[in-house]
Each structure stands twice: as C-alpha cells, then as structure tokens.
Amino acid sequence: MNSLKDRIIVALDVPFNRVQALVGQLSEHVGCFKVGLQLITAVGVPKIVETIHNMGGKVFLDGKFCDIPNTVGEAASAAADLGVTIFNVHASCGIEAMTAAVNNKRNSLVFAVTVLTSLEESNANLIFGAPSKAKVLQFARDANSAGVNGIICSPQELELLGKQKELSHLLKITPGVRPAWAPTNDQKRVMTPGGAIAAGAIAVVVGRPITQPPKEVGSPVDAVKLIQEEIDKALRSE
C-alpha cells in the first residue's frame, strides 16, 4: 500500500441504492471499499461484492467472523472464492479459529479485529475484564500466533503495538479515524487520518466524513482529496 489511493478505505455503511453512485465516484481515488453488516444483511455478500468488482473497486469484507474454527474456516474459504481483497475475523474467536481462516484465505488478506473503536475504557473492562490497551495487545499476539496478515485496532493503540518487536511485521488498519473537520459521531477512541498514518497504520477506514461530508467540504471526492492531502503531509514529515 504505497500510493495515497491505497491508504484510504471507504466504509460503505449506506443503503444499497447509494453504493453504485459512491463506487462510481470514488473507485479511482481510494484503495478499497469496506462492506459491513448493513449491506451484508440487506443485500447479501455475493451481490454486493459483484457490484463493486464490476465497477472496478476492491472489497474489504467486514464480516468479523467469530465462531468455531470449522465455521470460520469455511467462511474464509467462501470469502476467498469471491475474490475479496481483505476479510476479517474477530480475534476473540481464538487462535485455532483464526488459524483456520488463514489456512483458507488463499489470495485474500486476513485481518484480526481487536477492540472496537466505539468502546470506551469502562466498556472494554466490562466486556473483556481488562483495559482496552491490554486486551488489544493480547489479541494482537494471538492473531500473530495464528499467522494473520494484520490487525485492526484503534489508532490510539498504534504506538503501543509499534513498540512490540514481535508484532512489527503485522499490517495495521485503523477505523475510528476522523478528520478535524468531521464530527466523531459514535466513535470514541479516534485520531485524524494524518495522525494515524504517522503512528504506523498502513491504511485508514473512513465512512461518514466521505460518504456524508459536511456541506462546506463538498462532494465525497472532495473529502477524499482533503484526506489524501493530510496523509501526504504526514508521510512527508516522517
């Protein structure tokens, strides 16, 4: 992911009737389109993947597979058959299930989700019984043991993960990214796109700031260009 285009993944958390317009506008400007639970449930994975591929876009299938190893392995195989560029598993499914996904990924990349960026510290303690950073580190180590290509984490954990030599080869993608000109909405542990790239992310996931940009920003393409400028500045300052 060396180009500015590849540094941006657009979260298509939108109704299906907006997908073609957004992909048509943005496929030349962004590296991938993240398909999550909204479109998976409303439309189905094969149809939405085919739609995006037919328009020249690449797909990050955000299904967060989390089940017994056999089920996760079969889901991974199905995702690979569809030719998605990236799919993810949730690290809480355990090393054996993540390994099953890796064994069936073929040409796709598999990323492990750690702790959701919508969770505040009190939520993380309640759900996982540990602070968010400690749990992210544990999940990252489990994911590394399973042989995944990378992990998905809050940008606020990038510095911590970057200090772990045994995890240095893991690629890192960060949601919870909000430009200074966009509202944070329901994201809690956030950072700007430039800040996330500077901290070690290979790519950032951005949804509403691109798909529903503020009027003063302009179109989705205008929003992408602003984010690319910010990322470019961060890379040049390294």
Active-site annotation holds for 64: yes
What are the domain boundaries of the chain? 5-236
Asked: is 5-236 a CATH 3.20.20.70 domain? The reply is yes
Q: What are the beta bridge partners of residue 32?
A: 9
Provide φ and ψ at 227, rounded to 5°: -65, -40
Q: Give the separation between CA 136 and CA 116, rounded to whole angstroms.
A: 10
pLDDT at 115: 77
pLDDT at 186: 56
| pTM of the predicted structure, to 2 decimals | 0.92
pLDDT at 228: 96
DSSP assignment letter at 202: S
pLDDT at 37: 94
Tens-binned pLDDT, residue by residue, of the chain (238 aa): 568 999 999 999 999 999 999 999 999 999 999 999 999 999 999 999 999 999 999 999 999 999 999 999 999 999 999 999 999 999 999 999 999 999 999 999 999 999 776 766 666 666 666 677 888 899 999 999 999 999 999 888 898 899 999 999 999 999 878 888 877 655 555 789 999 999 999 999 999 999 999 999 999 999 999 999 999 999 988 6
Q: Give the separation between CA 144 and CA 189, rounded to whole angstroms.
A: 23
DSSP assignment letter at 177: B
Q: Give the separation between CA 89 and CA 234, rounded to whole angstroms.
A: 29
pLDDT at 177: 84
The residue type at 3: S
List, as one string, the DSSP characters of 129-170: SS-HHHHHHHHHHHHHHHT-SEEE--GGGHHHHHT-GGGTTS
Q: CB–CB of 99/74 below 8 Å? A: no
- The residue annotated as part of the active site, out of 5, 34, 58, 64, is 64
